[in-house]
Amino acid sequence: MRTRQVQRALPVIAVALLLLTAGCSFGGGDSTPTNGTATDGDTATTAGPATTTTEAVSLAGVEDGRVVDAAALADAHRQALAASSFETRRVQNASVVVSTGPNTSQVTRTTNLVQVVAEEGARPYRFRQSDSAVGFELQAWGNDSTRVFRALQGQEVVRAPSVGEPDPVTGVVSRNTVAGYLRAGNFTVAGSETVNGTTFVTLEADELAVENDSDLFVAGSSNYRNYSSTVVVDEDGVVRALDVSATYELRGERHDLSVSFEVLRLGTVTVEQPEWARRALAAATETDDPVGTGTPAPTGTPA
């Protein structure tokens, strides 16, 4: 009976993994979140209305009030965020094309959540990714030497824990995802504000900065309109908050997109190894055949 249940679940898992990877096309290099236990850290503070001059803070990749090097700004985010412990969350609401069989697919509205908790140096870390359309959740725990991954549907484990290589720091801190969003728009400095001793710079974009918008934010999408984005960066270079909204065409119909990324906590965050990961690692060391090596990477699992 159990074997038949597992066999029936395998196609469902495949569809779920496709759905979880069907969203942000440039974000495929970054995911890896949480369900981690963390102590109280500093609550992330985003800037309110800009009230001070734009000359207050110098940011990597920003010159003459414009973002001229998105990669440099994303690298600064990576370095500064990895220097602290943190919790981040990214939420994307979009319609995506999902495979429903060998030769069939459909457009489905989804809310895709990626959450990460990590200690200083992005090690150890916990990752959680879920998608509202299928009810699946992908979880991972990792450190300097390994990563343990599993998939659930509801409370049932539908992919047994597997052990593999740890995700790179760039993925844990969402460096590639941040860079992709920054490259997409014509960002300029809207202002800056100091809150509780920390200065925040607000960047805004109202036009795309790409020549070809095919597959830009959603696989198979094109003809983006009504694009706008706001990014808040602190004086150390951490992207504290990022929001994107737009409409796009997918299979002949228009759909709405909204994306939000935020640093929920920064500093004094700790991560505990979950019991399921501990058991999987113990099993892998007790046998000549490690448990499920060669883990398939979940959606943006860091590239």
Q: Where are the domains of the chain?
A: 2-285
- pLDDT (0 to 100) of residue 49: 44
CA distances from 131 to 93, 95, 164, 184, 188 (A): 10, 12, 23, 24, 33
| Structure-block tokens of residue 237 | 């270079």
Q: pLDDT tens digits for 232-280?
A: 999 999 999 999 999 999 999 999 999 999 999 999 999 999 999 999 9
Mean pLDDT of the chain: 84
pLDDT over 70 percentage in the chain: 76
Residue 56 confidence class, pLDDT cut points 50, 70, 90: low
Q: Which residues contact 297 (CB under 8 A, 6 or more apart)?
A: none
Residue 96 confidence class, pLDDT cut points 50, 70, 90: very high
* pTM across the whole model: 0.80
Cβ atoms of 217 and 246 within 8 Å: the answer is yes
Does position 14 have pLDDT exceeding 50, yes or no? Answer: no
Comparing CA positions, the residue from 231, 110, 225, 254 lying closest to residue 177 is 231
Please tell me the distance from the alpha carbon of residue 89 to that of residue 98, in angstroms, as a whole number.
23
Does position 167 have pLDDT exceeding 60, yes or no? Answer: yes
Min mean pLDDT across 130-139, 166-175, 191-200 is at 130-139
How many Cβ atoms are within 10 Å of 3's Cβ, its own excluded? Answer: 7
- pLDDT (0 to 100) of residue 285: 84
CA angle 77, 78, 82 (to 5 degrees): 115
